[in-house]
Amino acid sequence: MGIGTGKGWWSLRDFQSFWQKAMNLGLVGPILYKKRMPTPRCSADQPLAILTFHSHSDRSFLDDRELATLSGALRHEQIANDLVLVAITGGSQADAADAERNLAELLSGYDPIVYERVWDPEVVARLRDQLPDKTFIGLRGEHELLDDAPADIFCNGEPKQVLAPLVAWLRGERDLPPRGALFRGEQGWRESDPSAPVEVRSFPYAPNLRPVILNRDRLPESRTFSVTGNEGCPYQQDARENPLYAGTEIPQRFGRGCAFCTTGNHYAGRPNEETAASVFEQIRYVREQAPELRLLVLKDQNPFGYLTEVVERCAAESVSGFTLLLETRAEWFLRNAGRFARALQVAGESGIRLAPFLVGIENFSQAELDRFNKGIQAETNFEFLETLWQWKDRYGDALDLGHAAFGFILFSPWTTMRDLEINFAGIQRTRLDRLRGSILLSRARLYEDTALFYLAQRDGLLVDEFESQADDASRRYGYYPSRPWRHVHSDVAHFAALATELAERNHSRDMLRLFELLLSAFREAGANWRELTAHGLWQRYQSEGTRKENRGDRQLAPASEEFLEKFAALIAPLPIQGDFAGGWQIGGVATRPGRVEVEMCHAEEPAVRLELVPRGDGPYLRRSRHYHLRAIGKDLNPSQQRAAETLVDAIVANDR
């Protein structure tokens, strides 16, 4: 048998050799025959798994909305599937191995297995080793990291459009794979040729609100779910127009908005009336279908054009009992102060809370803000935070600051000691440490689709690997793998390394005091800063802390029996002698005029203390009718946080 060409006939073997060489050069794609798939690669008898990884057990900023709506769209197309949620936390290697082993056992009943976000591709690679007969499909997420995808197939298009026909092809129900599906080969990823065009379909709003959770004990008791307003960010300032970026080579599709973020690379705004109606319907759906979901994140960087109307409609139609968490910028709060105040007033009257959640403060140093292409003055951050505390005093529980996780980047590749001094003063002045945990661990994450990456590239600050895993903020918080970088200034590099070690020794508690200790030590050391060690600083921290605690103990006295009887009624139904919140107990109650201090103890956790003071002008975690409630030691671990919240909830409920 031969194949005719313009210059004669080739043998089939010669033609196959020619075609393979052309494929290796990238000139043609593989010839796909229907007979190449005589049997399905996936069984239609097994459901599909959409896998979502979480890396820590307290509140998470990782959003599963898109995966939940993808799950709902597949069910709409009669493809059985589950959203499978697993937390692989930063505990021991044995714990992580157990979680992966249990996950592999659970996934053995699914095929194919779909995933999007993972901080370490090796996690998926190990799952593939344990499940060699399963097909793994990677999805494009926030960042373009195709080269690192340990998948068999990569869905390079819109998953809701591409995944269903791809699954049908894998099950032998279609002759050709869809366009937008990439296959791994010796020459890298490439689309099949031929492939079938994808028919664009629309789907009802029906997200999967009840994932299969592998290790529920590793996750927060209250999960969040997000609703969508306008996608992207209207702040579109191009970093190429920033003089600090002169000489950088940023690809055209990147570089707009904040230099560390991808959200500004696009924006799709709709009329306020249309957006308000859409957001309201999403809220109503979630509250009706999953009333246990009380924390709803509004995904819109500037929702103030319609936020008040959404709250008013929720109030009018009795959709309540939830907290709406907001992601936005400081100056947009200020520009819409009147409308936001109106929304707070209506919310307070109708059982709704508004919670500034991910608000981008980022820095108090103007030099760093300019480098971040933030487009604001540092004074704007001060004005916003001062206004926020005023709103809290005026509107009380309608403004919920208990979920605040404001954006802040303490360390960038260019940070100076002067920047650190400015930021410490700014945090003290604004009480930002009450609105953002783990201050000393906040580091810039660099990705190839952000302008800051190209600035670091221009300055020769990209490196092959982090000094230690502790420097990798992506791994710590479960984000996509980021590019390692080094500090310009060696003293700041040493400061950052010491800060990380001290924070880890102290379980991320008392960050502001550690910050102050480090700054003081570096000032005293002068040119000898290299001699500072974590061990020496830790001894100094413990010594100073003991002196302060001893001074405080003399001012407080153990509570009387009469007071304890009243306190027992205040915290009911929690026991004053007995366990609550997973093994916590009331360890002691001390009083002095104008102050009550409660110590909570746990067999395996550091103690945590809660302070009750009369309502006044000072900051607080929550407030009841008569008290401001404050946690002593501002950065609590997840177990401590649950204990504090449980006790606070009881006091707020009883102090009427």
Work out the average pLDDT over 377-400: 96
Question: What average pLDDT does range 494-505 have in this prediction?
Answer: 93
pLDDT tens column, 586-629:
988 888 887 899 988 876 777 788 888 887 655 667 888 888 88
User: 482 versus 462: which is more confidently predicted?
Assistant: 462
pLDDT band at 550 (very low <50, low <70, confident <90, very high): very low
Is the alpha carbon torsion for 186, 190, 192, 194 positive or negative?
A: negative
DSSP 333: H
* E-strand stretches of 287-405: 295-299, 322-329, 352-362
In the prediction, which pLDDT does 622 show?
82
State mean pLDDT over 172-178: 93
The more confidently predicted of residues 104 and 96 is 104
Please list the helix, strand and coil fractions of the chain in percent, rounded to the nearest 5, in that order. Answer: 40, 20, 40
Residue 594: Cβ within 10 Å count: 9
What whole-number distance in Å separates Cα of residue 363 and Cα of residue 285?
38
Strands of 403-507, DSSP E: 407-408
Where does the pLDDT of residue 565 fall: very low under 50, low under 70, confident under 90, or very high at 90 and above? confident
pLDDT at 616: 65
- 612 C-beta neighbours (distance < 10 Å), count: 24
Q: Provide DSSP, 565-590.
A: HHHHHHHTTS-SSS-BTTTBEEEEEE
H or E element, residue 134: none
State which amino acid sits at residue 75: R
Type of residue found at 624: S
Preceding amide of 159 cis, omega within 30: no
- What digits encode the pLDDT tens for the residues 389-419? 999 999 999 999 988 989 999 999 999 999 9
Question: Residue 400: its pLDDT value, please?
Answer: 94
The reported pLDDT for the residue numbered 24 is 53
Question: pLDDT at position 500, please?
Answer: 93
pLDDT at 37: 40
pLDDT score, position 11: 47
State mean pLDDT over 553-572.
81
48-212 in CATH: which number?
3.40.50
Nearest CA to 62 out of 399, 478, 627 is that of 478
12 has pLDDT over 50: no
The DSSP bridge partners found for residue 188 are 185
Reduced to 3 states, what is the DSSP secondary structure of residue 112?
coil
The candidate with the shortest Cα–Cα distance to 517, out of 493, 534, 492, 531, is 534
Cα-based distances in Å from 385 to 32, 369, 376, 391, 442: 61, 16, 14, 10, 19
On whether the CB atoms of residues 498 and 475 are closer than 8 A, the answer is no
Report pLDDT for 458: 98
Q: List pLDDT tens digits, range 127-160.
A: 999 999 999 999 986 655 455 567 889 998 899 9
Query: Which amino acid is located at 227 in the chain?
Result: V
Residue 1: the pLDDT is 38
Question: b/e for 366-378, b at 16 or more Cβ within 10 A?
Answer: ebbbbbbbbbbeb
β 231-232/267-268 pair status: antiparallel
Tell me what pLDDT residue 211 has.
95
Please report the beta strands in 366-473, taking only residues with DSSP state E, as ranges in sequence order. 407-408
Q: Are 119 and 55 in contact (CB under 8 A)?
A: yes
How high does pLDDT run on average in the chain? 86
| CA atoms of 241 and 370, how far apart (whole Å) | 12
3-state secondary structure of 343: helix
Q: Is residue 28 over pLDDT 80? A: no
pLDDT over 70 (residue 315): yes
SS3 442: coil
pLDDT for position 56: 56
Question: Max CA-CA distance within the chain?
Answer: 107
pLDDT > 90 in the chain, percent: 59
pLDDT at residue 89 in the model = 66
Length of the chain in residues, anyone? 656
Distance CA 502, CA 123 (A): 28
Higher model confidence: residue 331 or residue 98?
331
- The pLDDT, as a whole number, for residue 485 is 96
User: Nearest Cα to 140, choosing from 117, 119, 121?
Assistant: 117
Nearest alpha-carbon partner for 508 in 404, 630, 639? 639
Segment 436-451 shows an average pLDDT of: 92
State the average pLDDT over residues 421-440.
92
Kindly state the helix (H) or strand (E) to which residue 48 belongs, with its residue range. Answer: strand 48-54
pLDDT tens digits for range 509-527:
788 999 999 999 999 999 9
| Residue ranges of E strands in 253-393 | 267-268, 295-299, 322-329, 352-362
pLDDT band of 545, cuts 50, 70, 90: low
Distance CA 299, CA 320 (A): 19
Q: Are 615 and 643 in contact (CB under 8 A)?
A: no
What is d(CA 599, CA 592) in angstroms, rounded to the nearest whole number?
15
Q: Where are the domains of the chain?
A: 2-29, 48-212, 424-554, 557-654
Among 274-283, 392-401, 556-565, 586-595, top mean pLDDT goes to 274-283
The one-character DSSP state at 304 is T
Tens-digit pLDDT profile for residues 198-246: 999 999 999 999 999 998 877 777 789 999 999 999 999 999 999 999 9
Per-residue pLDDT at 634: 52
- Answer yes or no: is pLDDT of 38 > 70: no
At residue 459 the predicted structure's pLDDT band, cuts being 50, 70 and 90, is very high
Higher pLDDT, 95 or 231: 231
The per-residue pLDDT for 375 is 96
The pLDDT score that the predictor gives to residue 551 is 47
**pLDDT tens-digit profile of 49-69?**
999 988 754 445 567 899 999
- Highest mean pLDDT: which range of 270-284, 468-482, 509-523: 270-284
Whole-number pLDDT of residue 192: 87
Under the phi-then-psi rule, with left for phi > 0, alpha for psi from -120 to 50, and beta for the rest, what region is 115? beta
CA 444 to CA 485: how far, in whole Å? 9
According to the model, what pLDDT value does residue 469 have? 66
Q: What angle do CA 269, 209, 168 make, to 5 degrees?
A: 85
Annotate 348-414 with DSSP letters as a single string: HHTTEEEEEEEEEEE-S-HHHHHHTT--S-HHHHHHHHHHHHHHHHHHGGGB--TT---EE--B-TT
Q: How many beta carbons lie within 10 A of that of residue 284, not counting itself?
A: 15
Residue 59 per-residue DSSP state: -
Give the pLDDT of residue 437. 81
Rounded to 5 degrees, what angle do the CA atoms 626, 433, 631 make? 35
Asked if pLDDT for residue 507 goes beyond 90, the answer is: no
CA pair distance 473, 445, nearest whole angstrom: 7
